[in-house]
A and B are shown apart, each in its own frame.
Chain A
Amino acid sequence: MLSFIIRRLLLVIPMALLVVTVTWTLVRLAPGSFYSGEKTLPPAIEANIKKKYGLDKHWLEQYGLMMLNIIRLDFGDSLKYPDRNVNQIIRDHFPYSATVGILAYLLALALGLTAGIVAALKQNSAFDYGSMTFAMLGLSVPNFVLGPILVSVFSLTLYMFPPARFGGFMSLVLPVITLSAIYMAYIARLTRAGMLEVMRSDYIRTARAKGLSEKTVLLKHGLRGGIIPVVSFTGPALASLLAGTVVVEKVFAIPGLGNIFIQSVLNRDEPLILGIVAFLSILIMLFNLAVDISYGFLDPRIRYE
């Protein structure tokens, strides 16, 4: 188990470098550059800028220098905000995304699992149809629709929550709900499907034949097998929740990482793009590793060597 974890952790390094390389290539292949605007610059000025940022060097040398910085986990200075370096920007903005993301994740997990389990237990009941209709809605309504609807109802009409600005618990309620809706819906549907399948299996019949109560059958014998599909979903889900979503951050004016990320692409702010990409890819790989490890705890048939 330990050697498995160490091997997987070591694998994170080349994977992250590969992701960065691909990103760098794509950024470089795209036409234009961070300094190009509507007006074409005089050649002398352009040459000066290139020189300042080392763009006059051979591309291989530039790539090498970039990689060297990444390996040292120093992503350099932002081109757009020269007074802040990339590490600092990530450090400043990630906590906002993470707070909203983790809360949304916990909410999605709590409500999604409960709804899914109850729906499966009472298959074809009013609750089942109700919660699954709700889940379908959650999956279909995009968050740029849900967010403004919540704001106009609960902030602008009922005055229950602040419409925007980050600060205090109350300001978190609406963005967290908006962000978690789709994940909650997805988890509810996965849980329901997983539970239904498990509850039909032979070993559940055996458990019933032993005279166990339906509650014991469900929680002790059914749950573990039923939520395995959910576990595989939650790893990547948590990663993308933490990365922040542009829409929710825009709608609720949260100074999170998602917004910065999109801005960096629009600005062709190469160091910032690469820094955020490297950071997020490492995050995603770590969560996937966590999911793989938790499989081993859920299912004794899975062993890592």
Chain B
Amino acid sequence: MSETNGTILSVNNLKTYFQTEDGVVKAVDGITFELKKGETLGIVGESGSGKSVTNLSVMRLIPEPPGKIVDGDIIFNGIDVRKLSIDEVRKIRGKRMAMIFQDPMTSLNPFLKISTQLMEVTQLHLGHSKQQAYEHAIKMLQTVGIPDAKSRLDGYPHEFSGGMRQRVMIAMALSCDPELLIADEPTTALDVTIQAQILELIKDLKTRMGTSVILITHDLGVVAGMTEKIIVMYAGKVFEQAPTKELFATPANPYTKGLLKSVPDPAHEEGTELYQIPGLPPDVAHLPPGCPFAERCERAEEICRVDYPPFVQINENHWSLCHFAKEVYAESQAHHVK
């Protein structure tokens, strides 16, 4: 392996645009982040903020056309993913970086047996014979906690419950022991008790196998206990980036504060309304000149609507895209100390 200083993935100024009839949609517009070996990174944001597109770009799974990675570097273990031919990308996909998707109901092929879908990965990447792949598939199903793995292997996806299907997806993704696992809203389509089980499973497997994980979600509750650091995305931009603890304690961006305030709290007083950020995410095809969040921001001032905000460094690992980042941070600190 090349010199990477323990960095498994570094994304630098990534820009992925989509050509639509409505104009160019800048789904991801200058994203930069780094993931160290064994680390878990959370990417948080509302629908359409560019979380999924960021990660599909990393896997080079953006449908082209209409999409295109127009700029930036994606360095995976020292390999410049953008410069690889599609055949070289295929050698990495599923083997060294794997992905699990939001909806396990539609992400497994309904026409093929679970065994076929599991076995084809290791047959392709690890050169397994049928027998080896079959045994490996059983082992993987056991690893993800599917009881009676051997007989379930012959089943079809529709014979599995939602939670079990997501376990199969995870087994499939981890079949070749990848260095990077991207989990795109892995629990969104599942009910709450199953959510906890799946998250626990990912956490457990990650420590056992030493996989680095990117966890995409719109649920701050999910990332809180899972990640070391968090990126908050809005309108294709990184709005705030910080270690998880710090982000929750002292957010330096009004958008993050809004997100945190809208998480339901069990201690919440009955009768009072749950906070929600006013308005809707902007149309990324027609962004206003100033801060994309200005229209919905409680503390927006004139400058926010006119000038694009700077990416302010609060401390070594904490960044925020806001004209008033330092002020917001100071307020959070004051509030936190109280």
Contacts and interface: CB of A to CB of B under 8 A. Distances in A.
Given A205-B107, A206-B101, A211 B112 contact: no
A299 interface: yes
Interface stretch (A52-60, A217-225, A233-241, A269-277): A217-225
B101 A202 contact: yes
B109 A203 contact: yes
Chief secondary structure at chain B's binding surface: mixed
Contact of A202 (B59, B95, B107, B158): B107
A205 B61 contact: yes
B124 to A, nearest CB: 6
A212 interface: yes
A201 B109 CA distance: 9
Contact of B111 (A205, A206, A216, A299): A299
Interface string B80-102: 00000000011111110011010
B154 to A, nearest CB: 11
Contacts of B61: 205, 208-209
Nearest to A123: B65
B156 A300 contact: yes
A206 B108 contact: yes
A211 B90 contact: yes
A298 B107 CA distance: 18
A300 B90 CA distance: 29
A202 B111 contact: no
B296 interface: no
B111 A211 contact: no
Q: How large is the interface on A (under 10, 10 to 19, 20 to 34, 35 or more residues)?
A: 20 to 34
Contacts of B108: 203, 206
A286 interface: no
Nearest to A124: B65
B125 interface: yes
B109 A211 contact: no
B106 interface: yes
Contacts of B113: 300
Contacts of A210: 93-94, 98, 120-121, 124, 172
Contacts of A225: 110-111
A203 B165 CA distance: 12
Interface string B154-172: 0010100000000001001
Most buried by A among B92, B101, B113: B101
Given A205-B61, A221-B112, A211 B91 contact: yes
Nearest to A213: B90
B103 interface: yes
A209 B93 contact: yes
B109 A301 contact: no
Contacts of A205: 61, 101, 107
A251 interface: no
Interface in B164-184: 169, 172
Contacts of B91: 211
Nearest to A224: B111
Contacts of A202: 101, 103, 106-107
A216 B91 CA distance: 14
A102 interface: no
B281 to A, nearest CB: 23
A291 to B, nearest CB: 17
A211 B94 contact: yes
A211 B101 contact: no
A206 B59 contact: no
A253 to B, nearest CB: 46
Nearest to A200: B63
A207 interface: yes
Interface string B299-330: 00000000000000000000000000000000
Contact of B59 (A209, A213, A298, A301): A209
B47 to A, nearest CB: 16
Contacts of A216: 120
Most buried by B among A203, A205, A299: A203
Given A202-B103, A205-B101, A301-B158, A211 B110 contact: no
B112 A220 contact: yes
A300 B111 contact: yes
Given A211-B94, A300-B156, A300-B158, A206 B107 contact: yes
Contacts of A221: 109, 111-112
Contacts of A301: 110, 156, 158
A290 to B, nearest CB: 20
Interface in B93-152: 93-95, 98-99, 101, 103, 106-113, 120-121, 124-125
Given A203-B107, A211-B93, A211-B125, 13 more contacts: A203-B108, A205-B61, A209-B59, A210-B94, A211-B92, A212-B94, A216-B120, A220-B120, A221-B109, A224-B111, A225-B111, A300-B156, A300-B158
13 contacts: A201-B106, A205-B101, A206-B107, A206-B169, A206-B172, A207-B109, A209-B98, A210-B93, A210-B172, A211-B89, A216-B120, A299-B111, A300-B113
Interface of A: 201-203, 205-213, 216, 220-221, 224-225, 298-301
